[in-house]
Chains A and B, each alone.
Chain A
Amino acid sequence: METVIETRALTKRFGSRAAVDGVNLVVPAGVAFGFLGPNGAGKTTMIRTLLGLTKASSGQVSLLGLPQPAKRREALARVGAIVEEPRFHPHLTGRENLKIVAAARDHAAAGRIDESLARVGLAQRAGDRVKTYSLGMRQRLGIARCLLADPQLLILDEPMNGLDPAGILEMRHLIRAFVDEGRTVFLSSHLLDEVEKTCDQVAIVDLGRVILQGNVADIASSGDPTLLLEVDDLAKARTVLAAETRITKIEDEARELRLTLADGLSPAEVNRVLVEAGIAVSRLEPARATLEEKFLAVTSRLEGNE
């Protein structure tokens, strides 16, 4: 498996506080990778450390297979990044701002300015000063700036921040289009829904540590299966099911019960137990865990450990 980002025991300390704490991260090529965590989890510090904007306290980083910081220039030549909110010289136009960054890149970068502006839908406003741009336009200009590198890897720090629903949808399509082109998108976010909709793989991070890492679908479906149950007599059903040892948890949810099953107990067996007890079952539905539930579960587990 080709990896575009690999860290080993990466740590960044500010005094005694570890903002990034021994992170081992592997991001494969050609995917949208979500770096998910609550505000203050260390996402931006991690990105800043990956890009060499701040020095790591310890640990190793490799970008596009090149060790950092030893091969920094070679690696960053094919990396585009937005760190925190995209910032620009407000007195310059969108195109001029891209010229500034293109000048710091290779000669081909200047030739990609128009193409990049068109790609993000800013060709018509490229001659306007950036101080007249909305936040959404700045986000798109930030993406255009990333594209100057013709990047193999895009690192986007909270790219959905401040965008309206249409802007979020547009950004999601853009990110998926980049992945379809074979690029890798490393996307940090605290928006669980967006990561779930946009990313193929995810790492959940909190307090500077990566808690879970893997495919979004696998993480969401991991753990014990759950069932949503609608019956004619909820109280009786609760009593009957409480006697079943392979049901580890019964939760009331409005007019239904949520059951957590263990030891291979199947929905069919649950149905049989209820019917045999004279309870009419009107709905029995396997519940798909969302990334949000998994996220809350793992982060609260972490808090519980402290």
Chain B
Amino acid sequence: MNLIAAEVLKLRRRRGLMAWSALLTVGAVLIAEIIIVTLHAVNPDHHGPAGGKTNLENYVFLLAGLGNVAAILIGSTAGTQDVSNGVFRDLVVTGRKRRTLFYVRVPGALLVFLPMLAVGLAVAIGGAYAFAGTNESPSTSYVLHSIAYVLAITVIDVVLAIGLAAFVSSRIVVGVLIAWNAIVSHLLIAIGALGGARKLIDVAAAEHFAPASSGNSRVAVTGATAVLVLIVWAAVALTAGRWWTQRRDA
């Protein structure tokens, strides 16, 4: 527990990282809601209410897209900061196993990221109900799907970033994962010729949890397969990261 608290401390004290992450999670949704609420207040005939199922869908995809970037930033920082600051060797010299020093980054990063994501989700869901007006309010099932989708698409990137960060600098991790999430994975998913192989793409698996109305789940994946694919991606990333952390000179 002490090691996890130490990981949280290292991340929380990074003002820039915290500010950007808060902006990308809570801030983005909040700003979007404020804009839509204002537009509706100023011109209700032209702009509908800021809440309801449809707007929740928009908030969720905003949170998934930008929260994803926050997840990558936090994960890559958690994965690289000990080595890049030259402190990893001092931790190794305590006698702690390198494996432990590596794995503890995961709960540490999640404990920093998930509260922000939770607040972002709370703002999105709360706004969807509070400002529903004449719009259809989201069902409980829809809300749960939204939460599951945002969690799946972001948490996997926290883990992937930590694993990849064992090999390369945080900038490369951020670049590679953002490119993968924003461009490469979607290109691969769009290639029909790849058939069932597309189920193995983490983004496709995460999209399985997206709210039903989104129509964004372009590859038919069962819930069990989606969970399995995400677990395998996480396991491969963490195993590779742990292997290199144990093998490299500290």
Digitize B70-109: 1 where CB-to-A-CB distance is under 8 Å, 0 elsewhere: 0000000000010001110111111111000100000000
Query: Within residues 12 to 33 of chain A, which ones have a CB less than 8 A from any CB in chain B?
Result: none
Does A54 lie within 8 Å of B249, measured CB to CB? yes
With a 10 A CB-CB cut-off, give which of B9, B85, B91, B95 has the most chain A CB atoms.
B95
Q: Does B46 have its Cβ within 8 Å of any Cβ on chain A? A: no
Does A104 lie within 8 Å of B101, measured CB to CB? yes
Checking B10, B13, B96 against A104 with a beta-carbon cut-off of 8 angstroms, the contacting residue is B96
Q: Does B220 have its Cβ within 8 Å of any Cβ on chain A? A: no
Whole-angstrom CA separation of A110 from B1 in the bound complex: 13
Q: Does B35 have its Cβ within 8 Å of any Cβ on chain A? A: no
Does A76 lie within 8 Å of B5, measured CB to CB? no
Q: Does B2 have its Cβ within 8 Å of any Cβ on chain A? A: yes
Does A145 lie within 8 Å of B90, measured CB to CB? yes
Query: Within residues 75 to 92 of chain A, which ones have a CB less than 8 A from any CB in chain B?
Result: 75-77, 79, 81, 83-84, 87-92
Looking at the assembled complex, report how far the CB atom of B20 sits from the nearest CB atom of chain A, in whole angstroms. Answer: 14
Looking at the assembled complex, report how far the CB atom of A183 sits from the nearest CB atom of chain B, in whole angstroms. Answer: 16
User: On chain A, which size bracket covers the interface?
Assistant: 20 to 34
Does B90 lie within 8 Å of A87, measured CB to CB? yes
Whole-angstrom CA separation of A110 from B85 in the bound complex: 22
With a 10 A CB-CB cut-off, give which of A48, A52, A53, A54 has the most chain B CB atoms.
A53
**Chain B residues whose C-beta falls within 8 Å of the C-beta of A87 in the assembled complex:** 85-87, 89-90
Digitize A40-63: 1 where CB-to-B-CB distance is under 8 Å, 0 elsewhere: 000000001001111000000000
**Chain A residues whose C-beta falls within 8 Å of the C-beta of B101 in the assembled complex:** 104
**Chain A residues whose C-beta falls within 8 Å of the C-beta of B15 in the assembled complex:** 91
Does B10 lie within 8 Å of A53, measured CB to CB? no
Does A76 lie within 8 Å of B93, measured CB to CB? yes
**Chain A residues whose C-beta falls within 8 Å of the C-beta of B97 in the assembled complex:** 73
Whole-angstrom CA separation of A77 from B81 in the bound complex: 24
Provided the pairs A92-B9, A99-B6 are in contact, do residues A53 and B86 lie with their beta carbons within 8 angstroms?
A: no
Does B87 lie within 8 Å of A100, measured CB to CB? yes
Q: Does A117 have its Cβ within 8 Å of any Cβ on chain B? A: no
Looking at the assembled complex, report how far the CB atom of A63 sits from the nearest CB atom of chain B, in whole angstroms. Answer: 10
Does A90 lie within 8 Å of B85, measured CB to CB? yes
Q: Does A149 have its Cβ within 8 Å of any Cβ on chain B? A: yes
Does B86 lie within 8 Å of A104, measured CB to CB? no
**Chain B residues whose C-beta falls within 8 Å of the C-beta of A75 in the assembled complex:** 95
Query: Within residues 40 to 94 of chain B, which ones have a CB less than 8 A from any CB in chain A?
Result: 81, 85-87, 89-94
A87 and chain B: residue at smallest CB distance: B86
Looking at the assembled complex, report how far the CB atom of A50 sits from the nearest CB atom of chain B, in whole angstroms. Answer: 10
Checking A77, A89, A107 against B85 with a beta-carbon cut-off of 8 angstroms, the contacting residue is A89
Does A101 lie within 8 Å of B9, measured CB to CB? no
Whole-angstrom CA separation of A83 from B15 in the bound complex: 29
Q: Does B250 have its Cβ within 8 Å of any Cβ on chain A? A: yes
Q: Does A170 have its Cβ within 8 Å of any Cβ on chain B? A: no
6 A–B contacts from the bound complex (CB under 8 Å): A48-B89, A53-B92, A53-B93, A96-B13, A99-B9, A145-B90
Interface residues, chain B, CB within 8 Å of chain A? 2-3, 5-6, 9-10, 13-15, 81, 85-87, 89-97, 101, 249-250
